[in-house]
Copies of this chain bind each other. A is one copy, B any other.
């Protein structure tokens, strides 16, 4: 932008604060992507020196006031210290809305998410290039790694799902090829805070993260929510509300060390709640996890020396009509927790397994809670399993169905479970106080086991009464 141009600008960039609605080039309502790219071009043009008086490239904040902004052009971020900041995470349930009969739409207060809302409507998506479907692409190679890019307080909405889906409704498919934020290259000290993500096939896909913070976001009704790919270290995923689609991941990480996943409320219907692939020395602690399928926490591919502690696990059945009949990836023998790795600690968790005995798979088997499938030297101690056989109801209203299912504990029957199963491929484990003698299935010659003391009496098995296994 020429100087003359700047003088006519309604927002003279005398500091590094930009507002997409005041930028003189482009129309943020029609294509916020083009506007942000032009602002980033301006920042780079103005911040050319990398070492001017001990500084030179402080970056910028780009503000998005509440409003509906279509994004037709992908934003490409290739400079550090950029904060993109809205004033409203804007979530509303598109899933509920798209399962309301069209005849009732006129009576709805609103049909779309809101807040500072970026509507992903890319014109150049290519099915063979995942990154091309991202609203925001972060891409920069060389040194140093791109640092301190921040996304804060706005909404990224994929608008529609488009593939065949449950209940013959494409909007239930969680598939549209769109990603909210895609970070392609190694990065440091990024922040994603207070954001809303909805109706994206992938909300956040981040490669090669160091000291990343994903904190206090609302990430729901997306195919997958958080995927940390490549490798990474010393990051945190904390205090988020998260819930993926039936085929995707709520939280996934691979080849990460020192990852802290805590204080998240992860609700259904992700195929897993937390799935770790070759992740080491990381924590999954103090989360509330709720799933409609087995395989809630998966420590796969040699994931080792991780701590899974103080979590609340609830596994029950899908209660909402449109998704009835959708099944998870694994059967009930897989375990709510499945471990292929060494030296992990599974300590002090609560498990509620609330299922219809008739729907347990394989037929006639007892559901497994913790399964040590391969590896060695894991510790499973002081876990409490409460298992009930229920007659699951269903409802046309998503939230009434869920609340009702959550709150009903009165009419359950006892359900036998395998609290801990240790496969032959996993040895040298220590299992303490995590199941009574008839609830632990392990080779006692190659594992150390102390059974939970059983309650002596049979009071608890009076038919028709609620019973909780101890």
Contact digits for A251-276, partner B, Cβ 8 Å, 1 yes 0 no: 00001011110110101000000000
Closest to A409 in B: B304
- Report yes or no: A93 in contact with B147, Cβ–Cβ below 8 A: yes
Query: Shortest distance in angstroms between A234's beta carbon and chain B's nearest beta carbon?
Result: 5
Q: Which of A50, A66, A278, A430 has the most CB of B within 10 A?
A: A66
- Report yes or no: B148 in contact with A89, Cβ–Cβ below 8 A: yes
Collect the chain B residues with CB atoms within 8 Å of residue A447's CB: 455
- Bound CA span A213–B193, Å: 13
- Bound CA span A454–B453, Å: 19
Closest to A341 in B: B409
- The answer to whether A413 has its CB under 8 Å from any CB of chain B is no
Contact digits for A118-148, partner B, Cβ 8 Å, 1 yes 0 no: 0101000000000000000000101111111
- Bound CA span A433–B379, Å: 11
Closest to A262 in B: B263
- Bound CA span A19–B309, Å: 45
Closest to A43 in B: B66
- Bound CA span A405–B109, Å: 54
- Bound CA span A265–B234, Å: 7
- Bound CA span A112–B49, Å: 11
Closest to A316 in B: B281
Within 8 A of B (CB), among A56-97: 56-61, 65-68, 70, 79-83, 85, 87-93, 96-97
- Report yes or no: B144 in contact with A108, Cβ–Cβ below 8 A: yes
- Report yes or no: A148 in contact with B258, Cβ–Cβ below 8 A: no
- Report yes or no: A108 in contact with B196, Cβ–Cβ below 8 A: no
- Bound CA span A216–B143, Å: 26
- The answer to whether A233 has its CB under 8 Å from any CB of chain B is yes
- Report yes or no: B376 in contact with A384, Cβ–Cβ below 8 A: no
- Bound CA span A349–B308, Å: 10
- Report yes or no: A470 in contact with B258, Cβ–Cβ below 8 A: no
User: A89's contact among B14, B93, B189, by CB below 8 Å, is which?
Assistant: B189
A96-B144, A280-B409, A386-B343 known; A453 vs B449 contact (CB < 8 Å): yes
- Report yes or no: A409 in contact with B455, Cβ–Cβ below 8 A: no
- Report yes or no: A283 in contact with B307, Cβ–Cβ below 8 A: no
- Report yes or no: B377 in contact with A386, Cβ–Cβ below 8 A: yes
- The answer to whether A381 has its CB under 8 Å from any CB of chain B is yes
Collect the chain B residues with CB atoms within 8 Å of residue A469's CB: 377
- The answer to whether A107 has its CB under 8 Å from any CB of chain B is yes
User: A310's contact among B65, B114, B257, B285, by CB below 8 Å, is which?
Assistant: B285
- Bound CA span A324–B91, Å: 47
Query: Shortest distance in angstroms between A152's beta carbon and chain B's nearest beta carbon?
Result: 9
- Report yes or no: A403 in contact with B231, Cβ–Cβ below 8 A: yes
- Bound CA span A345–B241, Å: 23
A/B interface sample: 19 pairs, CB < 8 A: A15-B19, A15-B67, A59-B66, A91-B211, A93-B147, A108-B143, A114-B147, A191-B194, A233-B399, A234-B290, A239-B263, A257-B407, A278-B407, A283-B350, A304-B409, A350-B379, A381-B433, A430-B452, A432-B433
**A56-B111, A376-B460, A446-B459 given; 9 more Cβ-contact pairs under 8 Å:** A50-B111, A93-B188, A148-B196, A233-B399, A280-B406, A280-B407, A306-B312, A345-B350, A382-B432
Closest 9 CB pairs of A and B: A257-B406, A377-B468, A55-B68, A81-B114, A61-B87, A15-B65, A343-B468, A343-B386, A92-B147
